[in-house]
């Protein structure tokens, strides 16, 4: 087994070990300010029109078996009502198919007017996830034999809540997207060489906020913060600073506390289409290895032309 494959197997086994000792965390995003509904169901319908967004993330490129995530969100207000709806699909894969987890959620939101210029939304999501775990693919690396049965399409239900305040230039939200602490599998066996671990998804709490400052007629400054808290895991804080030129082109940087630095770029191609790209570089020891070329994100959003008026500008958040 070559060195690269050894690294891959070690990485995967380390990942499983950390899950068993701490908790499995939700997927992370550098472009969270454009992908808010993935972490807060109350965001559904807040953009005032049908919005469809897709995001692809490749984590730790250059490391065999590193995680990848694909996200697809669709949401819209319900015309002539205070309700919004949405659909969210998130797929995570680790180890080139060794572990695959897919989340499917339906979302409903309700919005009240706080003032003429601000609104408060409440969101509820319900759905679940399908888990696939293929130990046979671990054996393909010529690693130590794993005496365990594969898991195929094991379904675990879940639900989540969120609250989201939004005005023309400011937003803030608090959410817990998955409230059930699911135990996916307990593989404790009597055989001496059996793998023994427990994978448990704990509650992830998110706090997101941001503001849009006018620096001059053509330049806006858009800072944002995302904080994630989960029991048994380190606090995660993402801070970003983006500059928007002519409400079309966005350029910025971000920092994930004790984890990574990032560069972000976005372009509002038209009123309907927006494109976003992000690159992360680890600040940990992993970032300095020859097997890690950083992490990449690709984001694309499509929106129908507004047929009725809402408060929030579709280009700000």
Summarised one tens digit per residue, pLDDT across range 209-233 is 999 999 998 999 999 999 999 877 7
The confidence score (pLDDT) of residue 289 equals 66
**Cα separation, 38 vs 26, whole angstroms:** 10
The confidence score (pLDDT) of residue 70 equals 95
The DSSP letter of residue 96 is T
Task: Please tell me whether residue 206 adopts helix, strand or coil conformation.
Answer: strand
**Cα separation, 254 vs 272, whole angstroms:** 26
Number of Cβ atoms within 10 Å of the Cβ of 139: 12
CATH fold group of domain 3-303: Porin (2.40.160)
Asked whether 199 and 21 are in contact (CB, 8 A), the reply is no
The confidence score (pLDDT) of residue 119 equals 95
The confidence score (pLDDT) of residue 184 equals 57
Stretches where the chain sits below pLDDT 50 are: 1-24, 190, 192-193, 195-196, 307-314
The confidence score (pLDDT) of residue 278 equals 97
Taking the CA atoms of 290, 291, 292 and 297 in sequence, report the sign of the dihedral they define.
Answer: positive
Supply the DSSP string of 249-295, one letter for each residue.
EEEEEEEETTTEEEEEEEEE-SSSEEEEEEEEEE-SGGGGSTT---E
């Amino acid at each position: 087994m070559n060195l690269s494959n050894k690294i891959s197997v070690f990485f995967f086994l380390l990942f499983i070990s950390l899950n068993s000792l701490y908790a499995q965390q939700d997927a992370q995003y550098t472009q969270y300010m454009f992908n808010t509904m993935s972490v807060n169901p109350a965001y559904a319908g807040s953009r005032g029109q049908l919005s469809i967004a897709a995001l692809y993330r490749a984590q730790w490129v250059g490391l065999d078996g590193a995680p990848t995530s694909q996200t697809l969100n669709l949401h819209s207000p319900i015309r002539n009502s205070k309700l919004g709806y949405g659909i969210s699909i998130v797929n995570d894969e680790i180890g080139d198919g060794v572990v695959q987890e897919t989340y499917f959620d339906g979302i409903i939101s309700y919005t009240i007017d706080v003032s003429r210029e601000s609104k408060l939304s409440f969101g509820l999501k319900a759905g679940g996830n399908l888990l696939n775990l293929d130990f046979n693919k671990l054996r393909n690396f010529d690693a130590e034999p794993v005496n365990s049965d594969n898991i195929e399409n094991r379904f675990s239900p879940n639900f989540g809540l969120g609250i989201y305040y939004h005005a023309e230039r400011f937003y803030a939200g608090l959410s817990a997207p998955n409230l059930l602490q699911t135990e996916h599998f307990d593989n404790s066996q009597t055989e001496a060489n059996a793998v023994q671990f427990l994978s448990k998804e704990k509650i992830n709490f998110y706090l997101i906020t941001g503001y849009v400052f006018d620096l001059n007629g053509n330049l806006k400054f858009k800072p944002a913060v995302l904080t994630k808290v989960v029991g048994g895991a380190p606090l995660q804080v993402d801070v970003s600073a983006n500059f928007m030129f002519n409400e079309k082109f966005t350029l910025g940087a971000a920092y994930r506390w004790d984890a990574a630095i990032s560069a972000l770029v976005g372009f509002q191609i038209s009123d309907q289409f927006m494109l976003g790209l992000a690159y992360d570089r680890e600040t940990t020891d992993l970032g300095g290895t020859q097997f890690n070329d950083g992490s990449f994100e690709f984001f694309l959003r499509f929106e129908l032309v507004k047929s009725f008026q809402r408060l929030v500008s579709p280009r700000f958040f």
